[in-house]
Structure 1
């Protein structure tokens, strides 16, 4: 049994399968989930787990070379916007509609219980060497 890191067996296994360039969408409870990518649904109740908790947990386990979020996050969710800016100084912004289109190409989608708007980010996996 693991004693640290991500303990959810479905999420830990999905992370182990990721490679360089793969996309991982961390999304709020309201984001439409496209058919195709593997989904690990962590949503339990509104706000649980939060976008911030899941983002921090995934960043502790993954090498990330880039991130994309919706432009709308800037006005609609300043807290999530500030969180992403702190982690990704070169955060790419696209329209929410484009982010939904891009999410169809993700390898993994992690759905949180976040209930604030536009708390979504598409991570691009890097390589540790």
Structure 2
């Protein structure tokens, strides 16, 4: 049994299967989930777990070389914007409709219980060397 890090077996196993360039969408409870990518749904209740908790847990275990968020988050959700920009200094922004299109190419989607708008980010995996 693992004693640290992400304990959810479905999420931990999915992360172990990721490689360089693979996409991981971390999304709020309202983001449409496209057919195709593997989904680990962590949503339990509105706000649980939060986008911040899940993002921080993933960033502790993944090498991330790039990230994309919806430009609408800047005006609709200043708290999520501040979180994203503090954790992901090279964050790129695209229209929300474009982010939804890009999410269909993700290898993994992690759905949180977040109930604030536009709390979504597409992470691009890097390598540790």
Query: What SS is found at the alignment partner of 1:84?
Result: helix
* Contiguous gaps of at least 5 residues in structure 2: none
> What stretches of structure 1 of length at least 5 have no aligned partner?
none
CA distance in 1, matches of 2:87, 2:4: 22
Normalising by structure 2, we get a TM-score of 0.99
Q: For 2:110 and 2:53, locate their aligned partners in 1 and report how far apart those are by CA, in whole Å.
A: 12
Q: Residue by residue, what CA displacement relative to the aligned partner does 1:76-117 show, whole Å, maximum 9, x if unpaired?
A: 000000000001122100000000000000000000000000
What does residue 113 of structure 2 align with? 113
**Correspondences of 1:1-129 after superposition (within 5 Å):** 1-129=1-129
Instruction: Return the TM-score normalized by structure 1.
Output: 0.99
Alignment RMSD: 0.3
Cα separation, 1, equivalents of 2:51 and 2:88:
15
**1:38-59 superposed Cα distances (whole Å, 9 cap, x missing partner):** 0000000000000000000000
State the secondary structure of the residue aligned to 1:69.
strand
- SS at the partner of 2:29? coil
* Structure 2 counterpart SS, 1:57: helix
Aligned length: 129
Which 10-residue stretch deviates more, 107-116 or 82-91? 82-91
SS in 2 for 1:81: helix
After the TM superposition, list the runs of 4 or more consecutive aligned residues in structure 1 that deviate by more than 3 angstroms: none
